[in-house]
Amino acid sequence: MLASQLLISTILSLTGSSVASPIANPKAESFAVAEAVGFAIPADADPASYECHAFCGNAILAARACSSNGADDGTFDSTCLCASDSEFMSYVPDCLDCGWCLWDDYGSYLTTPLSTCDQPTEPTGTACAA
């Protein structure tokens, strides 16, 4: 688990600087975390769907864009993070619905922003895939 968290943290720090800027190829950024985790975890050993990795990974990236420095898991701007039309909140329902199989890897990055927005801090769905 520590290795997975280190990998995700490294990937997010590398992709975090471009979150606020326009992206020429949105798919490249939007699935960066999912592809990285999917590469690290053999597909046949990972019961979560690619989409679920994308929902939860993008929620992490969107939360970081609302942090005090725009790139980490520190203090969040609740207006940016929790507005009903925020990017972060757009990923929350799907991530929480499908995230059971991912929570060991993604949960530590999402607990604080979810709590900031008065959202459940554990998945609410009953299945691993979206």
d(CA 113, CA 111): 6
pLDDT tens-digit map of 55-97: 999 999 999 999 988 877 778 999 999 999 999 999 999 999 9
Judge whether 11 and 18 are in contact, CB under 8 Å.
no
Judge whether 81 and 66 are in contact, CB under 8 Å.
yes
- Domain assignment present for 20: no
- Domain assignment present for 129: yes
- Domain assignment present for 87: yes
Helix (H, G, I), strand (E, B) or coil at 76: strand
- Domain assignment present for 6: no
Count of the separate structural domains present in the chain: 1
- Domain assignment present for 10: no
Instruction: Please compute, for residue 87, the number of CA atoms within 13 A of its CA located in the half-sphere on the CB side.
Output: 16
Judge whether 19 and 61 are in contact, CB under 8 Å.
yes
The boundaries of the domain holding residue 80 are 28-35+47-130
- Domain assignment present for 88: yes
- Domain assignment present for 17: no
Supply the pTM of this predicted model.
0.66
- Domain assignment present for 59: yes
Res. 4: pLDDT tops 70? no
